[in-house]
Amino acid sequence: MTTIPERHEIPDAHKWDLTPMFADDAAWDALFRETEARIPGYKTYQGRLNESASVLKEAIDYDLSVNRSLELLYTYAHLRNDEDKTNATYDGLFQKAVNLYARIAQASSFFTPEVQAIDETTMKGFLADPALSGYRFFMEKILRYKAHTRSEEVEELLAMSAEAMGAPSRIFSQLDNADMRFGTIEDETGKTHELSHGNFIAFLMNPDRGVRKNAFTTYYEAYEAHKHTIGASLSSAIKKDLFISRAKRFDATLSRALFADNVDKEVYTGLIENVRNGFSPLFDYLSLRKSVLGVDALHIYDTYVPLASDVAFHMDYDEAVEVTLEALAPLGEAYVSTLKKGLTGGWVDRYENRGKRSGAYSSGCYDSNPYILLNHDATSINSLFTLAHEAGHSMHSHYSRTTQPYIYGDYTIFVAEVASTLNEALLGRHLLEKYKGDKKMETYIINREIDNIRGTLYRQTMFAEFEMRIHAMAADNQAITLTTLTDLYGSLLSDYFGDTLEVDEALKLECLRIPHFYSSFYVYKYATGISAALDIAGRILAGEEGAVSRYMEFLTLGGSRFPVDELRIAGVDMTRPDPVNNTIAHFGSLVERLKTLLS
């Protein structure tokens, strides 16, 4: 029987190197105490922000300095915590960092109301002062929140509640990553395996339908056993978002979520409308899948297995790095050489261990490397694409932080998925060229790209519609029960799969295992991101003049502009339906190509 290794059993060469942040935990604790001691310093500026541009600048710089230290502390703590959710020491560090964040937010809560209380004439004079020349967009973002900022007392109370408000997400994360066990299953050879988040998809890709079905059933039995607890947790998270939105005087939770990025609601609703109008190629693909697999009814556990199932894939981490770097060569030597140093030099925590956070991500702060958490599986082509995906995030972070000052060093989530998904697109084209003439591999790769678009455009849009509708129900004072959640999710499954899929009752529990639902209205950005990314990738691969330079400029922008404006610099307008519709058309062309390969 294979089991998940403990953290100490993973070789150091396969772990990320966090020592550039802190040599040891004692160094972290020293900065923690130093940052904590600076909290009373905020009182120096309280009530004085209207005195002069120089005082306002001094206050901004003080706040930025404190938060820069806080981000470093938080980054180290959360990365250590994610290495092993059962490690009490690092769980404690993480809790201390979250608590410090809440206390700093409370101490600085006067800042925004005071800035917004400065009369328009005085503020205009401040913004014209050379002292604030590099802060104008930063100030613009604060001033546009004027209608949604409460009194200093209310803002202080909201800041004080931040840690408690994070309880639903934290409870779900601990249950899902640390406490839940998913049992064991047998593979096609009779060998027993412990089932986990990390290997679940790999089992769904198994050519043996019995193994796939067993993995699906066993995995969801764990959610069935905890469905009431998780349902209550998700319901609480939805109500928490509604409370904050109302407290901030937004007409809806969605409005609040879109406001920060200055994204029109029509971008969100238009995405859903355009995707719903583009179901035809999706249904066509699922019907093709059913036919090729030769099943009487297609189930969700039949939608992951490659249709070229006799292709054996194996690529260990080091080889995956080399292939990824080859694929990204169109982005230039500087991009590739920097990424190589990172992927082989301590940015990445490569393999699964017991208690480690599931999935994958890129994370870091202005003063750290752009670290990557993986759970690499050499037998899964998805792991290769995941590496390229997270590398895109990390390089976006690298360029933003090395080009922009701290105040604009972070890009928004709206543009975050563009760099990552573009890398996947370049990798897919590279693999097709690499295996040109090998019909089985071509089928395998095109099938993978189809499933990636299906999972990113169609699936994430379904998630986005679920969020929009469940939050609207909460705003309408409807009870958000377990049945409410699963019934709504079940109806969307029926819409997005039509009559091409047999929706198992257990699949309705899928809404309980999506961690992004605890960061409301996040998932739609995956769908808009892949649409923008495929547009840019197409231009780069076609050799369009200036496409690479425009894209590289986009990577350096950080948070210096609103995200829709940044994408325009890259050559994409997300306020129009074209990027989404073009992605659906591209999906349809891939399905037709797959039909030809399989005929």
Active-site positions read: 390
For residue 161, the SS3 value is coil
Among candidate residues 222, 163, 155, the one with its CA nearest the CA of residue 513 = 222
Q: What angle do CA 377, 431, 326 make, to 5 degrees?
A: 85
Please say whether the beta carbons of 45 and 58 come within 8 A: yes
Which H or E element spans position 217? helix 209-225
Q: Rg of the chain's alpha carbons, rounded to an integer? A: 24
Using alpha carbons, list the distances in angstroms from residue 24 to 18, 21, 362, 365, 471. 9, 9, 22, 18, 43
- If you count them, how many residues does the chain have? 599
As a whole number of angstroms, the distance between CA 204 and CA 456 comes to 18
Adjacent-strand bridge partners of 93? none
As a whole number of angstroms, the distance between CA 539 and CA 567 comes to 14
Q: What are phi and psi of 454, to 5 degrees?
A: -60, -45
Residue partners of 68: CB distance under 8 A and separation at least 6: 365, 366, 367, 406
Which H or E element spans position 432? helix 413-434
As a whole number of angstroms, the distance between CA 15 and CA 195 comes to 23
Structure tokens that stand for 561 in this block: 């502009």
Contacts for 61-67 with beta carbons within 8 Å, 24 or more apart?
Answer: 63/108, 63/111, 64/406, 64/407, 66/35, 66/38, 66/39, 66/41, 66/104, 66/108, 67/104
For residue 186, the SS3 value is strand
Structure tokens that stand for 20 in this block: 């550039």
Adjacent-strand bridge partners of 361? 373
Please say whether the beta carbons of 371 and 343 come within 8 A: no
Which H or E element spans position 194? strand 192-194
For residue 22, the SS3 value is coil
As a whole number of angstroms, the distance between CA 157 and CA 153 comes to 6
Parallel, antiparallel, or unpaired: how do β-strands 371-373 and 361-363 relate? antiparallel
Please say whether the beta carbons of 374 and 349 come within 8 A: yes
As a whole number of angstroms, the distance between CA 343 and CA 17 comes to 11
Q: What angle do CA 269, 271, 277 make, to 5 degrees?
A: 105
